[in-house]
């Protein structure tokens, strides 16, 4: 088999070193790793009183819980007496999860589209890029809204059918899985819709890289050796695209998180009892008034979300500086 040749101009070995030297990128990376750990590991250890609605409505941060001794609300409570700290962490699970999975999905679609377009070239390429231009100029978030509203119920039905089918065959693991999936069907449909929409930039970047790569001698050599087009794409182009794709994955995650919170803020996304940063901000924005400000309901979700998006963007920029040959000079 032909080995994967790596053109020196595109994957300079210094990439990771450049990234590691960038203090801001590393800080962002550690913040994100820490956030994921806290969001996943801390909620199960919180006292149960904090996880339910209570009569402690709209208490400021640091107030004591009325139901049990020694428990305080670290970030205050919302209208229904939920502990905001707990909701911030579960909201982080939802927001980060939606962002990551949605971005992965968009990575898959975008890479495939870009590779085919760039590798095919000629008229096919021109047509596929024209389609991309048209899609760029369509208000995509509107169609996401319509898709979610229209397809959501069908997904639930379909999952329920799968559950019954599994029940009929006595597959309890799959049945349990489906029960969980039904509970989160709203989130699932959102991830799918967002992932299928945010791939345009990825496709364009990948296509640009493929246009450069396919003229390289190692591709010509592989073709001369009689390798088929799919094999060339998989064995020679894909490995060389990895760092570019990783960079834009990092930059797509904040875009998807923003979209999700946009929808939740308008009341078309995640809703009670589940929470995401967008839905928490919606609740916070509703209680803003000059006389009796419930500042914590807005302050904590806004700060956490902004810092997270900033960290993701810093990390993405750092990755781009390290791996994108075009931005190297800057």
Does position 141 bind another protein by CB under 8 A?
A: yes
Computed on alpha carbons and rounded to an integer, the radius of gyration of the chain in Å comes to 23
Judged by CB, which is closer to another protein: 43, or 269? 269
Q: If you count DSSP H runs as helices and E runs as strands, how many of each does the chain have, helices first? A: 13, 0
Q: Among 9, 42, 52, 149, which residue sits at the site for another protein (rule: CB under 8 A)?
A: 149
Q: Which stretch binds another protein (CB under 8 A): 57-65, 94-102, 184-192, 300-308?
A: 300-308
Asked whether the CA dihedral 100, 106, 107, 109 is positive or negative, the reply is positive
**Termini Cα distance of the chain:** 38
Judged by CB, which is closer to another protein: 30, or 171? 30
Does position 244 bind another protein by CB under 8 A?
A: no
Q: Among 112, 313, 325, 328, which residue sits at the site for another protein (rule: CB under 8 A)?
A: 313
Does position 285 bind another protein by CB under 8 A?
A: yes
Partners of 77 in beta bridges = 83
Does position 142 bind another protein by CB under 8 A?
A: yes
The answer to whether the beta carbons of residues 32 and 312 sit under 8 Å apart is yes
Q: Mask of contacts with another protein, 109-138, x by CB under 8 A?
A: ---------------------x---x-xxx
Does position 143 bind another protein by CB under 8 A?
A: yes
Give pairs for 309-314: CB < 8 Å, separation 24+: 309/254, 309/257, 309/258, 310/28, 311/27, 311/28, 311/29, 311/31, 311/32, 312/28, 312/32, 312/250, 312/251, 312/253, 312/254, 312/257, 313/251, 313/254, 314/24, 314/25, 314/27, 314/28
For the CB of residue 146, give the shortest distance to another protein in the complex, in Å: 5
For the CB of residue 101, give the shortest distance to another protein in the complex, in Å: 20
Please give the residue ranges that form the binding site for another protein (CB under 8 A): 130, 134, 136-143, 145-147, 149-151, 153, 254, 258, 261-262, 265-268, 278, 281-282, 284-285, 288, 290, 293, 298, 302, 305-306, 309-310, 312-314, 317, 327, 329-330
């Amino acid at each position: 088999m032909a080995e994967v040749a790596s053109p020196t101009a595109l994957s300079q070995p210094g990439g990771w070193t450049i990234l590691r030297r960038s203090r801001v990128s590393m800080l962002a990376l550690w913040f994100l790793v820490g956030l994921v750990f806290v969001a996943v590991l801390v909620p199960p250890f919180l006292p149960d009183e904090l996880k339910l609605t209570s009569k402690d409505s709209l208490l400021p941060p640091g107030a004591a819980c009325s139901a049990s001794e020694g428990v305080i609300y670290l970030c205050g409570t919302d209208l229904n007496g939920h502990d905001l700290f707990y909701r911030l962490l579960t909201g982080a699970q939802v927001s980060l999860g939606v962002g990551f999975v949605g971005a992965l999905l968009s990575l898959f679609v975008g890479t495939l589209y870009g590779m085919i377009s760039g590798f095919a070239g000629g008229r096919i390429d021109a047509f596929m890029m024209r389609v991309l231009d048209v899609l760029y100029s369509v208000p995509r978030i509107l169609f996401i809204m319509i898709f979610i509203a229209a397809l959501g119920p069908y997904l639930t039905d379909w999952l329920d059918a799968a559950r019954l089918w599994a029940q009929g065959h006595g597959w309890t693991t799959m049945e349990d899985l489906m029960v969980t999936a039904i509970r989160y069907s709203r989130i699932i449909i959102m991830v799918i819709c967002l992932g299928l929409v945010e791939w345009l930039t990825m496709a364009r970047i990948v296509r640009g890289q493929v246009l450069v790569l396919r003229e390289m001698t190692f591709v010509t050599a592989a073709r001369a050796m009689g390798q088929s087009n799919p094999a060339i794409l998989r064995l020679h182009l894909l490995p060389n695209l990895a760092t570019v794709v990783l960079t834009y994955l990092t930059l797509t995650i904040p875009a998807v998180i923003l979209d999700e919170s946009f929808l939740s803020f308008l009341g078309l996304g995640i809703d009670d009892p589940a929470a995401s940063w967008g839905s928490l901000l919606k609740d916070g924005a509703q209680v803003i008034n000059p006389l009796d400000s419930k500042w914590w309901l807005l302050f904590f979700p806004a700060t956490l979300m902004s810092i997270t998006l900033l960290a993701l963007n810093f990390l993405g920029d750092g990755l781009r500086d390290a791996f994108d040959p075009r931005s190297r000079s800057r």
